[in-house]
Structure 1
Amino acid sequence: MSTLREIQHRWAAAVMHPLTSKDETPRRLHSEAEAIIKPNDRLSSLERLEIYSRSYWFRVLDSLVEDFPGVRAIAGVSEFHAMSRDYLAQHPSTSFTLRNLGSHFVAWLERNQERVHPHEQFALDMARLEWAHIEAFDASQRPTVTPEMWARGGENAELKLQPYIRLVKASYPVDDILLEIREIEDSNRKIANWHRTRLPQLAKSESFIVVHRVDYSVCYRRVEREAFDLLNALHSGAPLGVALDAAFRDSSVPEDQWPTLVQQWFGAWMSLGWFSA
């Protein structure tokens, strides 16, 4: 006799088994369905299983639409639906929360770039921004550095960025484009129209984006390339002096302007609480 735990595992595996192209439970699961669920006077065992299986799959597919609306607009509604099914077949949910469902999506897209041809780089930039948004939303926040602590640090200070900070270097202005896509009513028709008419107009524009949080809302802030390299070096654990060298190593900004720029950057970043004590 099967234990309750064994039945639960079999039930979960059956429910999470990919649906057919017609969103039906595969007929080959008929015997497994009969083994773990009884029929009633209206539905067979397989039909009863299908109710739960469809509910599961429609919910996780909707979750990816909610998490990656930008990639969906770039790929197209139908192709994104097919991509999502293939992704979830390889990376099924293993967490109690849907928040983690797309944690492998960027890596999966890197391995399957032909699915978004000819917009590979655009889609990857967008996926990285959208996952950074999810991480920034619920990552922890630590006490911020005070001006007094900053004054004592000197150039050998090791400044730590807040855990919720994410840095995204993109070949396209994906922050502006994602905000544009989110303003579109979530209908297949309107997304398809954006894909057909707006997507061909978009051009490359290198962007350096800091994804951060203000009053529990995720925000995007564009910074200069030098500022981005400085933040990236600090994020990697470099002391302040080393990070400053990395920021201006190949810069075209005149050297006499560096101190003013750095002062402006750090004034803004500290006011936003980007550094943790």
Structure 2
Amino acid sequence: MTLLELQRRMSEDVMRPLSAEFQMQTTTDDGRSTAAIAEGYIKPNDRLSSFDRLEIYNRQYWFRVITAVAEDFPALNAVLGSEAFDELVLAYLRENPSSSFTLRNLGSRLPEWLQNHAEFTSGNHDLAMDIARLEWAYVEAFDRAAIPPVNGADFAGFDGETKLSLQPHLQLLDLKYPVDEVVLAVHRETGPSDIMSNAISERRQTSEADLPEMTRQDVYLAVHRYDNSVYYRRIDHEAFQLLSSLQSGSSLGSALEAAFEGGVYTLEDQTAKIQECFAHAAELGWFCITTPN
């Protein structure tokens, strides 16, 4: 066996998904014995068989990637419970293995994946989806770029054809539950070192967060970064429509039309809402000038 063949063999065996009991599988997908494969290139010692030695690396690899995902979704963990959450993450990673040089991206597809896997959400699928979307929005808001915002003088030249961009870190969410309350409650109760999956060989016991009761309610959130901290800001439906339209590339005039489509507002009410939205967004530096391609 050449060095390259050994590396590929080891990589395949270490990255093979664990069993539902978080142990190394005894057979491969094509029915081969994992113990026989391990004996082909790993020496046993006086305490551990070849299988046992390989299992240590197999389990530690998966514990690390499970933990990397769990660190980004502590509120989902708290709502579903550790056992159900660990099963969810293991199933997700089986279908979405690491494909990047950084563990940061491991959870990027979890909200989309969860949409079609209600079997993991214990009858609270919409709630779980909202939490997953918000927790990933937190990651994006924390990591994404910030570019120079529009200044006061720029606004004077705007018209209906003007195209504004929004800060790359700004995430807009339309939610069915006020899950910002849940996420904030979990973050208050859970220190950074405690935000991890319980799918480890020695499970650490942590106190459960006192979670608020959730009642179905339409909530619109702007998740953004300000002074290197991430904040959740509730906005009204009109502001959400306006900002979402701008984010999708609409002109300022089209975005304003979309904001009030189907609503019954006087011209004075519309003007007041527009002024409020623009004042808050400009103060927080959300607007940027779209540069031509």
How high is the TM-score relative to the length of structure 1? 0.91
SS of residue in 1 equivalent to 2:156: helix
In 2: Cα distance, 1:40 partner to 1:12 partner? 22
2:19 maps to 20
Matches within 5 A, 1:195-274: 198=211, 201-274=213-286
SS of residue in 2 equivalent to 1:152: coil
How high is the TM-score relative to the length of structure 2? 0.86
2:117 maps to 112
2:126 maps to 121
In 2: Cα distance, 1:190 partner to 1:72 partner? 13
Matches within 5 A, 1:118-157: 118-157=123-162
SS of residue in 2 equivalent to 1:153: coil
**Per-residue displacement from partner, 1:233-273 (whole Å, max 9, x unpaired)?**
00010000100000011224433122122122212211211
The structure whose residues are more often helix, as a share, is 1
Match of 2:189 among 184, 191, 207: 184
1:248 counterpart letter in structure 2? F
Which stretch shows the higher mean deviation, 110-119 or 162-171? 110-119
Matches within 5 A, 1:64-103: 64-103=69-108
Match of 1:174 among 161, 168, 179: 179
Q: Give the deviation of 1:188 after TM superposition.
A: 5.2
2:262 counterpart letter in structure 1? D
In 2: Cα distance, 1:6 partner to 1:105 partner? 33
- The verdict on how the C-alpha distance between 1:73 and 1:38 changes in structure 2, with shifts beyond 3 A counting, is same
SS of residue in 1 equivalent to 2:157: helix
1:7 maps to 6
In 1: Cα distance, 2:244 partner to 2:143 partner? 21
Which stretch shows the higher mean deviation, 93-102 or 177-186? 177-186
**Per-residue displacement from partner, 1:182-210 (whole Å, max 9, x unpaired)?**
2224575643x75xxx57x3211211001
State whether structure 2 residue 62 is matched by structure 1 residue 54. no
In 2: Cα distance, 1:252 partner to 1:181 partner? 39
Contact 1:74 1:119 in 2 (8 A): no
SS of residue in 2 equivalent to 1:154: coil
Q: Give the deviation of 1:41 after TM superposition.
A: 4.0
SS of residue in 2 equivalent to 1:27: coil
**Per-residue displacement from partner, 1:92-128 (whole Å, max 9, x unpaired)?**
1112211111111112111111321321111111111
**Per-residue displacement from partner, 1:38-88 (whole Å, max 9, x unpaired)?**
333443222221221121111122222211112222222211111111111
In 1: Cα distance, 2:232 partner to 2:285 partner? 15
In 1: Cα distance, 2:26 partner to 2:57 partner? 15
* 5+ long unaligned stretches in structure 2: 28-33, 195-203
Contact 2:20 2:87 in 1 (8 A): no
Q: Give the deviation of 1:19 after TM superposition.
A: 2.0
Match of 1:63 among 68, 74, 87: 68
Identity across matched positions, percent: 41
Which stretch shows the higher mean deviation, 164-173 or 40-49? 40-49
Which stretch shows the higher mean deviation, 208-217 or 47-56? 47-56
Q: Give the deviation of 1:36 after TM superposition.
A: 3.4
1:87 counterpart letter in structure 2? Y
Q: Give the deviation of 1:230 after TM superposition.
A: 0.2
2:10 counterpart letter in structure 1? W
- The verdict on how the C-alpha distance between 1:240 and 1:27 changes in structure 2, with shifts beyond 3 A counting, is same
In 1: Cα distance, 2:219 partner to 2:134 partner? 11
Count of aligned pairs = 271
Contact 1:145 1:270 in 2 (8 A): yes
